[in-house]
């Protein structure tokens, strides 16, 4: 008897945890699942910008939209769309190489083929549709200071390789991943025929392009080159220039809306509504818009709305 | 002899060593360390600005600060504290008058606080904290005056030119603050429902102890892994029971965060309850049984009240811990004050990170102090009841 009474709290805990969901189930059987479109995006600046664009365009065309923008990192957002927790989000074509473990195939270095490949694979395996991408490439790149570019006449990575091989002084800041992943710095080194000694590389473990570019702009530890993404907004503010990848070493990362097939079938006009918007988002445009968020501190939805009305997509 | 005594009391009054050291440190910091930075925009660092420079930019205004510092040399106790707080506060709002253009949102120019600014803030707050008893009416009144003036200038846009405040779009701040509080409250309700019975069970039965240990294992799962796991679990749950969705249960957003925060808060709460119950002297329980108390009466009327101080202390720890952990919510779209931290890191904006940190610190500090007051009041009541008996 005593034993049972003393276990009362335990039973209470179990009972309540079991009872709560049951109560919620019975009390609202009537209302059906939500019919609105859930827009998600990754947590970074460009993710927020493109997510807002999708959201604003869809609202303008009369869709019911739920805002799940800047949800989390790539892995989590990908999981969310596979689980049906979001319906649409902007993703980069080049990431298909990692989603489908085909990182060493050359197809990812060609813009159209990369889009086609990831489109076909995702449609067949996951019932996800890749809508037409934006003509911008947000791939890994190497940026150098304006000053170095002018004094040493560097425009492309081939120029940089010459400069390094002739003994020019260089120190590159990059994240752990950029320095060590075979797809990044090692692939640049192999293709252009240069080699950076450990003294010429500053590894910022866990660093993003914002930190590496800042290190480069401020000349921290003598850094004068940095890992960068093609569409980073802060490049101009930091007085950095991106060196052209003239041998097309890197996979192409074009942003495109990725949507669940079921949602697209229910709203077939959706693709046509978004296509003209993404068609106008080239590298320069994305750099400028990203800069408004990062450098000027404007809100991503304000920047997106302003650009969309400038281009006539919104009144 | 008399004269010397008067002199020493004068010296004591005006130049007490300890009071003087505060004034000297503040002066040294202001003179030798950079006070602000004038950044051309949000990401590029600008040149440092020293106190001598702001004095030459708008002398009338900054002479007031200088006077304030000089006054602290001659004061001690409550008034010195008051003047130090005023000097610290003026550093927040005077840039708005010196560089009014930096306060406009369309302007890229930013006045960022630098080393001397933060050190003066730290010194002023330390000056408040070193006082052991704050019961004197004068001290309390002066502090309330400072608090009122700071709130008024902040809300009236008096600090708008400072970069950290410029990051704080007011609608955004209140939205994130609301999310943060609702995440914490939701998680604490869940933790109370599960943690208190669990702690009670762990104090007396072997099964409860086993369950308790398995909960403490949950503490070791990394946050991102737990969020990923919860998303898949909750998504599966809403697929099988679609009606859950209308209750706001989703695999992303607030739900997984609240579940994770609850799981993390159970351990401190349950272990405090367990410890509290274990500390109840067995003599007291036997005495109660001897008086004819039923087992449930023993629990509710004797053991629980006696375990209360420990349980409440555990609750306070759990609340503070949950408020800190809630900053991870943006990792799965849960919002909250952590949003400023993650966005600030992503956009290389230290100001945004500082804003987030300040907000989290303030909210957590206020909650902690409120709980402390509540617990003290409860214990005082308990003691009074005991005396009456």
Q: Is the pLDDT of residue B225 over 50?
A: yes
**Cβ–Cβ contact A8 with B under 8 A:** yes
Q: Quick one: average pLDDT of B217-226?
A: 81
User: Which residues does chain A have within 8 Å of residue B251's beta carbon, measured at their own beta carbons?
Assistant: 80, 83, 85
Q: Quick one: average pLDDT of B15-27?
A: 79
Rounded to whole angstroms, how far apart are CA atoms A89 and A259?
7
* Residue B59, pLDDT score: 87
Cβ–Cβ pairs < 8 A, chains A and B: 153
pTM recorded for the entire structure:
0.81
- Average per-residue pLDDT for chain B: 85
User: Which residues does chain A have within 8 Å of residue B173's beta carbon, measured at their own beta carbons?
Assistant: none
Tell me if B342 and A299 make a contact (CB, 8 A cut-off): no
Q: Quick one: average pLDDT of B312-328?
A: 93
B46: closest chain A residue by CA: A218
* Residue A6, pLDDT score: 46
Q: Quick one: average pLDDT of A113-130?
A: 95
Residue A201's DSSP bridge partners are: A172
Q: Is the pLDDT of residue B271 over 60?
A: yes
Tell me if A234 and B348 make a contact (CB, 8 A cut-off): yes
The most distant pair of C-alpha atoms in chain A lies apart, rounded to whole Å, by: 90
* Mutate: best of A8, A13, A82, A235, partner B, most B CBs <10 A: A13
Tell me if B348 and A68 make a contact (CB, 8 A cut-off): no
**Cβ–Cβ contact A66 with B under 8 A:** no
A165, A258 in Cβ contact below 8 A? no
- Out of B172, B241, B331, the one facing A72 most closely (by C-beta) is B331
φ/ψ region of A146 (left if φ > 0, alpha if ψ in -120 to 50, else beta) reads alpha
For A147-190, the pLDDT digits (tens) are 999 999 999 999 999 999 998 899 999 988 889 888 789 989 99
Please report which helix (H) or strand (E) contains residue A276, including its range.
helix A270-279
Highest mean pLDDT among A218-232, B174-188, B238-252, B290-304: B174-188
**Cβ–Cβ contact A312 with B under 8 A:** no
User: Which residues does chain A have within 8 Å of residue B211's beta carbon, measured at their own beta carbons?
Assistant: 10
* Residue B115, pLDDT score: 93
Shortest Cα–Cα distance, A95 to chain B (Å): 19
**pLDDT: which is higher, B354 or A28:** B354
For A51-95, the pLDDT digits (tens) are 999 999 999 999 999 999 998 888 889 989 998 889 999 999 999
pLDDT bucket at A7, cuts 50 / 70 / 90 = very low
**Cβ–Cβ contact A34 with B under 8 A:** yes
**Cβ–Cβ contact A284 with B under 8 A:** no
Tell me if A294 and B349 make a contact (CB, 8 A cut-off): yes
A73: closest chain B residue by CA: B331
**Cβ–Cβ contact A206 with B under 8 A:** no
Shortest Cα–Cα distance, A273 to chain B (Å): 26
* Mutate: best of B252, B340, B351, partner A, most A CBs <10 A: B252
> Encoding tokens for residue B3?
């004269």
pLDDT bucket at B15, cuts 50 / 70 / 90 = low
* Residue A43, pLDDT score: 87
Tell me if B194 and A85 make a contact (CB, 8 A cut-off): no
- Out of B43, B236, B245, the one facing A33 most closely (by C-beta) is B245
Ordered alpha helix ranges (H), chain B: 2-14, 17-32, 51-57, 59-74, 77-98, 115-130, 137-155, 163-166, 170-204, 206-218, 223-240, 254-278, 282-290, 295-297, 304-325, 338-346, 350-388
Rounded to whole angstroms, how far apart are CA atoms A209 and A227?
6
Q: Report the range of poorest mean pLDDT among A10-24, B173-187, B206-220.
A: A10-24
For B55-108, the pLDDT digits (tens) are 888 888 888 888 888 888 888 778 888 889 999 999 998 888 888 888 777 778
What DSSP character marks residue B16?
-
Tell me if A72 and B242 make a contact (CB, 8 A cut-off): no
* Mutate: best of B229, B348, B355, partner A, most A CBs <10 A: B348
Shortest Cα–Cα distance, A294 to chain B (Å): 5
Give the count of beta carbons closer than 10 Å to the beta carbon of residue B26. 24
Rounded to whole angstroms, how far apart are CA atoms B165 and B96?
11
Q: Is the pLDDT of residue B2 over 60?
A: no
**Cβ–Cβ contact A85 with B under 8 A:** yes
Q: Is the pLDDT of residue B10 over 80?
A: no
User: Which residues does chain A have within 8 Å of residue B333's beta carbon, measured at their own beta carbons?
Assistant: 40, 68, 70-72
Q: Report the range of poorest mean pLDDT among A159-168, B148-157, B380-389.
A: B380-389
A145, A216 in Cβ contact below 8 A? yes
B356, B324 in Cβ contact below 8 A? no
Q: Is the pLDDT of residue B131 over 80?
A: no
Rounded to whole angstroms, how far apart are CA atoms B140 and A40?
49
B344: closest chain A residue by CA: A294
Q: Is the pLDDT of residue A20 over 80?
A: no
* Residue A19, pLDDT score: 43
- Out of A1, A24, A238, the one facing B44 most closely (by C-beta) is A238
Is the interface score ipTM higher than 0.90?
Answer: no
Tell me if B108 and A208 make a contact (CB, 8 A cut-off): no
Q: Is the pLDDT of residue A126 over 80?
A: yes
Shortest Cα–Cα distance, B334 to chain A (Å): 8
For A212-225, the pLDDT digits (tens) are 998 898 888 899 99
């Amino acid at each position: 008897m005593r034993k049972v009474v003393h276990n009362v709290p335990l039973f209470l805990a179990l009972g309540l945890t079991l009872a709560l969901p049951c109560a919620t189930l019975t009390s609202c059987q009537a209302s059906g699942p939500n019919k609105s479109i859930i827009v998600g995006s990754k947590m970074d600046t460009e993710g927020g910008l493109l997510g807002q664009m999708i959201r604003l365009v869809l609202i303008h065309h009369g869709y019911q939209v739920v805002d799940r923008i800047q949800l989390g990192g790539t892995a989590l957002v990908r999981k969310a769309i596979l689980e049906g927790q979001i319906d649409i989000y902007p993703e980069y074509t080049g990431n298909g190489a990692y989603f489908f473990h085909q990182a060493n195939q050359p197809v990812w270095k060609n813009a159209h083929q990369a889009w086609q490949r990831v489109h076909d694979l995702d449609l067949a395996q996951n019932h996800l549709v890749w809508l037409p991408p934006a003509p911008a490439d947000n791939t890994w790149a190497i940026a150098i200071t304006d000053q170095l570019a002018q004094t040493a006449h560097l425009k492309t990575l081939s120029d940089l390789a010459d400069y390094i091989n002739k003994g020019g002084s260089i120190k590159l800041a990059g994240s752990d991943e950029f320095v060590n992943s075979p797809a990044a710095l090692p692939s640049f080194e192999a293709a252009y025929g240069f080699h950076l000694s450990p003294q010429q590389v500053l590894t910022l473990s866990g660093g993003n392009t914002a930190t590496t570019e800042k290190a480069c702009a401020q000349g921290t530890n003598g850094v004068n080159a940095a890992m960068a993404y093609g569409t980073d907004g802060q490049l101009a503010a930091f007085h950095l220039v991106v060196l052209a990848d003239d041998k097309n070493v890197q996979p192409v990362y074009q942003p495109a809306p990725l949507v669940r097939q079921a949602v697209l079938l229910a709203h077939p006009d959706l693709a046509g509504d978004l296509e003209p918007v993404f068609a106008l988002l080239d590298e320069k445009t994305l750099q400028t818009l990203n800069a408004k968020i990062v450098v000027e501190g404007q809100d991503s939805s304000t920047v997106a709305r302003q650009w969309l009305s400038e281009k006539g997509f919104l009144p | 002899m008399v004269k010397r005594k008067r002199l020493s009391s004068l010296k004591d009054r005006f130049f007490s060593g300890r009071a003087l050291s505060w004034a000297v440190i503040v002066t040294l910091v202001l003179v030798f360390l950079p006070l602000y930075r004038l950044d051309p925009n949000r990401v590029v660092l600008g040149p440092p600005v020293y106190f001598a420079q702001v004095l030459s930019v708008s002398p009338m205004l900054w002479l007031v600060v200088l006077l304030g510092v000089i006054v602290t040399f001659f004061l001690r106790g409550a008034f010195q504290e008051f003047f130090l707080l005023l000097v610290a506060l003026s550093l927040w709002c005077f840039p708005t008058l010196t560089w009014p253009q930096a306060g406009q949102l369309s302007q890229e120019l930013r006045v960022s606080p630098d080393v001397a600014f933060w050190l003066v803030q730290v010194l002023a707050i330390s000056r408040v904290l070193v006082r052991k008893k704050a019961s004197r009416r004068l001290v309390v009144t002066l502090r309330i005056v400072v608090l009122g003036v700071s709130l008024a200038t902040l809300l009236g846009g008096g600090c708008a030119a400072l970069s950290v405040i410029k990051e704080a779009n007011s609608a955004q701040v209140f939205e994130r603050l609301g999310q943060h509080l609702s995440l914490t409250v939701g998680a604490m309700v869940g933790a109370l429902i599960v943690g208190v019975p669990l702690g009670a069970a762990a104090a007396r039965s072997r099964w409860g102890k086993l369950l308790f240990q398995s909960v403490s294992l949950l503490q070791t799962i990394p946050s991102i892994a737990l969020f990923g796991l919860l998303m898949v679990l909750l998504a599966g749950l809403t697929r099988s029971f679609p009606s859950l969705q209308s209750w706001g249960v989703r695999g992303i957003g607030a739900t997984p965060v609240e579940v994770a925060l609850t799981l993390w808060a159970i351990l401190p709460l349950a272990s405090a309850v367990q410890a509290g119950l274990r500390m109840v002297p067995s003599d007291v329980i036997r005495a109660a049984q001897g008086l004819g108390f039923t087992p449930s009466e023993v629990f509710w009327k004797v053991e629980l009240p006696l375990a209360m101080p420990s349980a409440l202390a555990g609750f306070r720890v759990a609340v503070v811990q949950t408020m800190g952990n809630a900053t991870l919510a943006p990792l799965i779209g849960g919002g909250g004050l952590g949003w400023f931290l993650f966005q600030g890191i992503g956009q290389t904006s230290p100001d945004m990170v500082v804003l987030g940190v300040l907000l989290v610190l303030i909210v957590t500090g206020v909650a902690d102090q409120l709980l402390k007051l509540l617990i003290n009041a409860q214990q005082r009541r308990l003691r009074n009841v005991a005396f009456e008996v």
